[in-house]
A and B are shown apart, each in its own frame.
Chain A
Amino acid sequence: MKSLLLIASFIFTLSLTSQTPYEKGMNEAFALWEQQKNTEAVQLFERIASVETDNWLPPYYAGLIEIVSSFGLKDEALLNTKLTRAKEFLDNASEISENNPEIMITYALLNTAYIAFDGAKYGMTLSGENVAIYQKALTIAPSNPRVLLGKTEWDMGAAKFFDKSIAPYCEDVERAIVLFNEEEQTVPYYPYSGLERANEISANCKKETSPN
């Protein structure tokens, strides 16, 4: 009898603390991603997206993983297939959440993946598009640290290319770090990340701009 009670209470508490299927799915997907099981992670995010039809996060992450994992690919056919799929996910996400700066800058990342593959073929059309995306995102969300950081990184790349000082952009990186620290992280699974990257760039800034 005692054991029975124990089991009963155990089951009871389990169901109290147990996660919703959404949370369980998301946690599992993030775990897969962390283990570099990209295909499985994308597939799980895709499944979650098929249930959570009014939540932009699952398709957003599915797209993001496809993009991130396509950097460094050598096969253009595969790159194209992956990025086309990524774009479908992002289109899906932005249909749910219009003018979302996080999704917008992910589109810019998608373009960057193409440009990184073949600058001569894709650079001309896509780099201009990227600048336009960052500008629009910045007007919508002037204090979004990821938007600011993304735009600054893009501008820095151009400045470096022309042997110009990156110092003015370093100030923007510092501003982004402040914004990161001020950001209230209230929405579960929201892509708040980016502070680490900002710190890295900031360190780099200090190295490059220090007089020696």
Chain B
Amino acid sequence: MKTLLFLLLTVLCSNAFSQSTISGKIIDQQGLPIMGASVYLKGTYDGTATSEDGTFTFETTATGLQTLIASSISFETYSKADDVTKLNTITIKLKDDVNTLDAVTVNAGTFNAGDNAKVTALKPLDIVTTAGALGDFVGALQTLPGTSNVAEDGRLFVRGGGAEETQIFVDGMRVFTPYSPSANNIPTRGRLSPFLFKGITFSTGGYSAEYGQALSSVLLLNSINEPQEEKTEISIMTVGLGLGNTQKWKKSSLSLNTSYINLAPYQKLYPDNNEWHKPVESVGGEAVYRYKFNNDGLLKVYGAYSSVDFDLTQEDINVADGIRFGLKNRNLYINSSYQDFLEKDWSIATGISFANDRSEIKYNNSDITDIENSAHLKIAFKKFFSSRYKLNFGAEYFATNFTENFEDSNFEDDYEFDNNIFSSFVETDIFFSKKLATKIGIRGEYSELLQEFNISPRLSLAYKAGSNSQFSLAYGEFFQNPKNDYLKYNSDFTAENTTHYIANYQYVKNKQIFRAEAYYKNYGNLVKYDTPFALPTSTYNNSGSGFAKGLDIFWRDNKSIKNTEYWMSYSYLDTERDYQNYPTSATPDFASKHNASLVVKRWIEDWKSQVGLSYNYASGRSYTDPNKGGFLTEQAKSFNSLNANYAYLISPQKILYLSVSNVLGTKNVNGYQYADQTNTDGLFDRRTITPAADRFFFIGFFWTISDNKDDNQLDNL
């Protein structure tokens, strides 16, 4: 009996005595208690949640060395290994998790689009369903502030910069010829089809040291990693036909897209003010192959081929019969990229892109053949030291070979240059806290052609002032070699440069975004020449300069009106330059002082339709009136365009899409052309340059065939 009693006692005692109490308090960095945090001993069932005053207490039967874990939403998880007996009345301070959605983001100068971004200015569908954008992602970006509307060009003009000051990258690799060629006064379109991309970052200044050779802006496109399913897509449009197919295998996938565009029928029905000998005919094909390796490695190979032919005669005030312009363009672009996660929080991204572009141009009686071969090689490494400290560095090489042959009845010549640039960059991201973060980078570039080395420092800083608002600042130096149009005649240049200063305020709350950004840009070493056009015989130098300053405002609201989303942009721009053949400093003819746009989209459930409207306004651009003297001192009338689109889902896989640009038929003016000689009254006659057509109609029928009966091409529109 005694033994039994003894045994019982020992059992009871051992039970009672092996219990230890774990207790303490959990606070945040400000010392405020954290309620509901989880505290437990790793590998045991013992733990609890903190009470309202941040305190916790629980019992454990575990003994010896144990690991205490404390975690709470939006804080970094804390762990401490110690003897259980010492884990009482301890105070644990949890650090803010800087990777949460409500943490500060370094974003001065940058707009993100796509579902991977913390704050999305444009959603994936917006890229393609913005009225007036006609399925061109560049069109959708032109509804963001910081861009100037240059209706007759179609390319991106950012903050007083010319179109060639914006560079486009796909998966980190440069796209050398991103725009389809077009005739004078007819807007061009981007070559890349928008539905290949899932994320778009559009930076209007102050961007990362990873990107160079762009004075004004970079547009970063990320292609889809893995298509969702196998499908065939058929498009029948007023301007042509499209066919796409996606195949998926266990580790890889292949998407093919072909399109045939012929504007002949359209131009028969709606003639424009050009005399077309051969309306635009283009054939294009794209293929994307993706392969996933066993580890996290992902290889993507994108290839695109397109051919564009057209021939037309355009009115010209100095040439009675007009100017004949014909073009045959063949473009091949290959972009391969590989990314992988390595051990110890390293990751690697590498790639190569290659472009071959051949244009045969007929300009009146001259024949011009341009051939451009370009390549970009890049390797970049990233190291995550912690969620608060990241390092990114790499090296890249750009090679461009350009040849031009010019031939007419009495003259023939060849021009050629090689423009090779080696660069390397290093950049670090530091989060001091959830409220304060910085990105510091430096980039070095050596140009073989110009034989010079340039260093560009970049710096951004962001501070979160309240739960919904933040302030950011950015500074950077940017260099870019002069454009091909000059390099083919002369290479005794230095790189053009600009310095950006940006201050940004952002307010984000429940599907509403407000952004205001002020900037100042200072241009130096711009190319100047002394003839009406850049010619082989011109004298060139780098003595040009300029500035741009302004304010960009953006407001998006997806909340206030049910089923309706809208956004508004306003840009104020004050810019002057003394470059090219300008006799004096003046506002270039592509820059308008005020730019505004409003985009509205409404989903009408009963009609299974999305109705979209967009309105673009740009104040008049400058031009020179030789009758009045002066240089770029006159102002043309302002630009107004109201666009509408309508998408009707006939069934889950069939969509009818209608779009009309400039519904009201507003008579816009792209500029004026003055005669070289005065008329009998001693005045220079002028011709108003109007858009080729006031309105543009587009009707398309899109049909998706797949096992998944819900999928459609809504994202292609």
Contact = CB atoms under 8 A, between A and B. Distances in A.
B5 interface: yes
B244 interface: no
Given A39-B49, A81-B100, A127-B710, 7 more contacts: A4-B1, A46-B40, A50-B42, A128-B710, A131-B228, A131-B711, A162-B652
Nearest to B12: A11
Given A25-B45, A47-B44, A125 B115 contact: yes
Interface in A9-35: 11, 21, 24-25
A122 B651 CA distance: 21
B593 interface: no
15 contacts: A8-B4, A11-B8, A11-B11, A43-B38, A47-B38, A50-B43, A50-B69, A81-B73, A124-B115, A125-B115, A131-B710, A132-B708, A135-B707, A161-B608, A162-B608
Interface residues of A, number: 43
Interface residues of B, number: 44
A121 B40 contact: no
A178 interface: no
B43 A120 contact: no
Where chain B touches its partner, the secondary structure class is: loop
B714 A124 contact: yes
Interface string B165-204: 0000000000000000000000000000000001000000
Nearest to B128: A124
Contacts of B11: 11
B49 A77 contact: no
Interface in B604-661: 608, 649, 651-652
Contact of A7 (B8, B69, B710): B8
A171 interface: no
> When A and B form their complex, which 9 residue pairs have the shortest distance between CB atoms, in order from nearest?
A128-B228, A77-B101, A43-B38, A77-B102, A131-B708, A80-B101, A47-B40, A158-B710, A25-B45
A51 interface: yes
Where chain A touches its partner, the secondary structure class is: helix
A22 to B, nearest CB: 8
A18 to B, nearest CB: 13
Contact of B708 (A39, A75, A128): A128
Nearest to A22: B45
Interface string A187-205: 0000000000000000000
B49 A162 contact: no
B49 A50 contact: no
B44 A120 contact: no
Nearest to B101: A77
Nearest to A46: B38
Nearest to A123: B125
Nearest to A43: B38
Contacts of A11: 8, 11
Contact of B45 (A7, A47, A75, A122): A47
B124 A124 contact: yes
Contacts of B120: 121
